[in-house]
Amino acid sequence: MRAPETADPAPAAIEVRSLRKAYGEVEAVRGIDLRVARGEVFALLGPNGAGKTTTVEILEGHRQRSGGDASVLGHDPGRNERALRQRVGIVLQQTGVDGYLTVREVVQMVAGYYPHPRDTDEVLALTGLSDQANRRVRKLSGGQKRRVDLAVALAGDPELLFLDEPTTGFDPSARRQAWETVRGLAALGKTVFLTTHFMDEAQALADRLAIIADGRIVATGTPDELIGSGSAATRIRFRLPPSVEAPERFGAHRVASAWELETDTPTQSLHDLTAWSLETATELADLEVTRPSLEDVYLQLTAEEAAE
């Protein structure tokens, strides 16, 4: 059977054009464009006050935009329609669930509001809460409570999930678990839109990301594309015996007890360096080659925006 003429083969989960938001004199969002494909994990990164929460809250239907277009699962989020709310899960930076209920009761209660909820045991397993199912929420640790927030957002089996700084306040192992949960959601085909301050989180989770600074998108792409597009250089680091200086032509400088150089042509630099090392029988101890990280690119882009 042929698909109807009007069917779009790959409609976006989120599409935003020239989105603007002003709070009086403050222009928090200054005309941004975004497209998030269905099934994608998308991260919005940016410094404090860049406009992340404003953008997310407009998409969630919690704030009205001042201008531009926004479409979330084919709906205008500004109209706050029930049909859209039922298909979206939201984890806010801070939420309060009734602490006297057990974890299972909370998830079951929320599931009752939705037409096609996900099985409660599955939600608990997905969020790593199976062992806490019968404990009262108020007795949980801060990190475990955040997982309950996530379980609440998943109870209605949403197609699209908004996560605003999902791992702030987590210890390293809780962060890793939360990452696994997000990957599990991606594997289920959910679309995830997250905001974060953590570059490693964006690098580990996001299929694509956008960096926002001062209300404008300054870069967008896959983590690898962004790392490749920046002018941040590859870093080569090594140690030499105390009596030996690195030849000047390498442009290396001392950093603590090591030598470091930055290069846009790492193959050539390594070739020159190792040739010198072999010729002079000087060992390059602890030799390390580091690609620029997303953090290097982010700091460079947000600094450029601030300078403008």
**Binding flag, residue 26, ligand ATP (CB under 6 A):** yes
At CB < 8 A and 24+ separation, what contacts does 133-140 make?
133/102, 133/103, 133/104, 134/102, 134/103, 134/104, 135/102, 135/103, 136/99, 136/100, 136/101, 136/102, 137/97, 137/98, 137/99, 137/100, 137/101, 137/102, 137/103, 137/106, 138/99, 138/100, 140/103
Q: Please state the closest distance from residue 75 (CB atom) to ligand ATP, in A.
A: 22
Distance of CA 105 to the CA centre of its chain: 30
**What tokens were used for 88?**
């979206």
| Residue selected from 13, 16, 19, 28 as contacting ligand ATP according to rule CB under 6 A | 28
Q: Which stretch binds ligand ATP (CB under 6 A): 41-49, 117-125, 258-266, 278-286?
A: 41-49
Q: Does 48 engage in binding with ligand ATP (CB under 6 A)?
A: yes
Does 275 help bind ligand ATP (rule: CB under 6 A)? no
**Selected binder of ligand ATP within 11, 17, 23, 265 (CB under 6 A):** 23
Is 53 among the residues that bind ligand ATP (CB under 6 A)? yes
Q: How far is the CB of 210 from ligand ATP (least distance, A)?
A: 12
Residue of 49, 67, 99, 251 interacting with ligand ATP (CB under 6 A): 49
CA distance 88 to 47: 26
- DSSP assignment of 66-83, as one string? SEEEEEETTB-GGG--HH
* Interface with ligand ATP, residue 306, by CB under 6 A: no
In angstroms, give the least distance from the CB of 182 to ligand ATP.
19
Closest to ligand ATP by CB, 21 vs 87, is 21
Q: Look-up: residue for tokens 């801070």? A: 94
Rounded to 5 degrees, φ, ψ at 200 are -65, -30
Looking at residue 35, the DSSP 8-state letter turns out to be: E
Q: How many residues bind ligand ATP (CB under 6 A)?
A: 11
Interacting residues of 23 by C-beta distance below 8 A, sequence separation 6+? none
The CB-of-300 to ligand ATP minimum distance in angstroms stands at: 19
Nearer to ligand ATP, 46 or 89 (CB): 46
Q: Does 36 bind ligand ATP (CB under 6 A)?
A: no
Residues within the interface to ligand ATP (CB under 6 A) = 23, 26, 28, 46, 48-54
